[in-house]
Amino acid sequence: MSWDNVLNTTEQIAQASLQTISLFSLTLIFSLPLGLLMAFCRMSRIRPLSLLMRGYLLIMRGTPLMLQLIFFMYGLNLPFSRFQVAVVAFSLNYAAYFAEIYRSGIEGVPVGQSEAANVLGFSKGQTFFRIILPQVIKKILPPMGNEFMTLVKDTSLAQIIGVAEISLIGYQLQQTFVSMIPIVIAGVFYLLMNSVVSRGFSMAEKRLGYYR
């Protein structure tokens, strides 16, 4: 590969990384709150609701995301663009993982915390958002960090429905130039993104390290 082609490849992959980053960010924006809602359903005392959610979580976590993407794209005929379908599928899939992480975090906060809040007169909402959730966030940072990093890499699956993200472009350029360089460059982009994610989580853990 000529130097010009390397530059050109980098530029195209940088272009594609915008798709990757958008998919990553939009997935988080939707799946983080959605996962919390799912965790509540899963822990609900209303038996049918909790059973339904268990079934959902089993399906979403028990089948490959790639198959889910194909199903959402060609099975459901949603009036969405390829990219939008990817956001929907990723959000529903990641929300399922987040739901289980939230649940473990919520169950890990001693029941005495909500009892103390209850006796002091806090409402249910105040108790959850002011007392429980901050402690949950501290507990779930490490598993969340894992999920975030996996998500960065999982965005490459969106190529199966034709989203022009980093891996797809990298693969096409590798075919064009019959060279490994585009693949290496694509890898470097993922690595860069994940070092930012990893850095962010270390900082967050440090910030919340003031208490045990």
Task: Return residues touching other proteins (CB under 8 A).
Answer: 110, 112-113, 115-122, 126, 130-131, 134-135, 138, 208, 210-212
- The DSSP secondary-structure symbol of 76 reads S
C-beta closer to other proteins: residue 6 or 208: 208
The H-or-E segment that residue 53 falls in is helix 47-62
> Rounded to the nearest whole angstrom, what is the least distance from the CB of residue 112 to other proteins in the complex?
4
C-beta closer to other proteins: residue 3 or 210: 210
Q: Which amino acid makes up residue 83?
A: F
> Rounded to the nearest whole angstrom, what is the least distance from the CB of residue 197 to other proteins in the complex?
24
> Rounded to the nearest whole angstrom, what is the least distance from the CB of residue 182 to other proteins in the complex?
47
> Rounded to the nearest whole angstrom, what is the least distance from the CB of residue 60 to other proteins in the complex?
31
C-beta closer to other proteins: residue 206 or 212: 212
CA 200 distance to own-chain centroid: 15
- What is the SS3 assignment for 109? coil
C-beta closer to other proteins: residue 81 or 126: 126
Phi, psi of 119 (to 5 degrees): -65, -35
Cα torsion through 12, 13, 19, 25, rounded to 10: -150
